[in-house]
């Protein structure tokens, strides 16, 4: 079970103890720090990674809202407060939940479930994005052909169309190279000539103004040489 690293922030020691007791009921929750001021918590966060913060709002020096706004890469946060009047502003800051004191175990459980639901949704979004980046949809004749990026050898301009060479075969797609370049991940594909886009992973060597692929040699245009050198760390 992956541990969720939690930071507790409240200027009242008894409030921290209540949250500590509640979190004992959730074995995935690991308290890595307890602080009674926002500056002290900020100092800890500069040196340590935290997944979830439980923070009071009304505190001396800096309140919880100011604390959250000050974080450049804020972890997930649940506010724990005795005041209702900050709720609208808190949810505008995309907090996980807003717990009113005194906090019951049942209400804490709901907040933790919200945290897990949010994390699960973000993970699914990342996976979906990764899958999308591994496939390109090409307009071929009157249909859409889905092609895995790692199957592509190179693209060649063909007027207002492009030829996609892949695994020894080819597809003629109703796309320009300029538009294909927008669809392809820039960290994996590069335009080397006004007529060619190649996958960086398929480049076996470069000599002079020529790129050598497994079974093909392609020219490198003068205006594309600098970008190619940067991409290939030359």
The answer, yes or no, to whether residue 137 has pLDDT greater than 90, is: no
Query: Mean pLDDT for the chain?
Result: 89
Position 123 scores a pLDDT of 61
β-bridge mates for residue 35, sequence order: 9
Kindly tell me the burial class for residue 98, based on how many C-beta atoms sit within 10 Å of its own C-beta (0-12, 13-18, 19 or more). middle
Judge if pTM exceeds 0.95. no
pLDDT above 90: percentage of residues in the chain: 60
pLDDT class of 124 with cuts at 50, 70, 90: low
Position 119 scores a pLDDT of 84
pLDDT class of 19 with cuts at 50, 70, 90: very high
Encode pLDDT of 45-100 as tens digits.
999 999 999 999 999 999 999 999 999 889 999 999 999 999 999 989 989 999 99
Cis peptide before 27 (omega within 30 of 0): no
120 compared with 97, residue with greater pLDDT: 97
Position 54 scores a pLDDT of 98
Query: Do 171 and 146 contact (CB within 8 A), yes or no?
Result: no
- Span 25-39, mean pLDDT? 96
What contacts 72, CB < 8 A, 6 or more positions away? none
β-bridge mates for residue 209, sequence order: none
Encode pLDDT of 140-154 as tens digits.
887 888 888 888 999
In angstroms, what CA-CA distances link 87 with 53, 118, 132? 17, 19, 37
Of 156, 232, 161, whose CA–CA distance to 198 is shortest?
156
* Whole-angstrom distance, CA of residue 148 vs CA of residue 138: 11
The answer, yes or no, to whether residue 174 has pLDDT greater than 90, is: no
Encode pLDDT of 198-224 as tens digits.
999 889 999 888 999 987 899 999 999
Query: Do 36 and 30 contact (CB within 8 A), yes or no?
Result: no
Rg (CA), the chain: 27
The answer, yes or no, to whether residue 195 has pLDDT greater than 90, is: yes
Question: What residue ranges define each of the domains in the chain, with the CATH number in brackets?
Answer: 4-131 (3.40.50.2300), 135-231 (2.40.50.1020)
């Amino acid at each position: 079970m992956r541990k969720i690293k939690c930071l507790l922030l409240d200027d009242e020691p008894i409030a921290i103890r209540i949250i500590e007791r509640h979190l004992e009921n959730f074995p995935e929750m690991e308290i890595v720090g307890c602080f009674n001021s926002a500056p002290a918590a900020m100092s800890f966060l500069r040196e340590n990674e935290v997944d979830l913060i439980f923070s009071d709002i009304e505190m001396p020096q800096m309140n919880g809202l100011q604390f959250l706004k000050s974080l450049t890469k804020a972890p997930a946060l649940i506010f724990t407060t005795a005041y209702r009047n900050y709720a609208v502003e808190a949810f505008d800051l995309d907090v996980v939940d807003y717990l009113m004191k005194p906090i019951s175990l049942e209400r804490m459980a709901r907040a933790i479930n919200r945290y897990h639901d949010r994390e699960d949704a973000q993970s699914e979004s990342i996976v979906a994005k990764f899958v999308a980046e591994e496939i390109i949809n090409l307009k071929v004749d009157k249909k859409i052909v889905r092609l895995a990026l790692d199957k592509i050898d190179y693209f060649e301009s063909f007027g207002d169309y492009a030829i996609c060479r892949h695994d020894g075969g080819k597809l003629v797609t109703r796309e320009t190279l300029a538009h294909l370049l927008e669809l392809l991940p820039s960290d994996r594909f590069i335009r080397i000539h006004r007529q060619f886009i190649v996958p960086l992973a398929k480049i076996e060597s470069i000599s002079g103004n020529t790129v050598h692929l497994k079974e093909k040699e392609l020219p490198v245009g003068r205006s594309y040489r600098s970008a190619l050198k940067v991409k290939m760390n030359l």
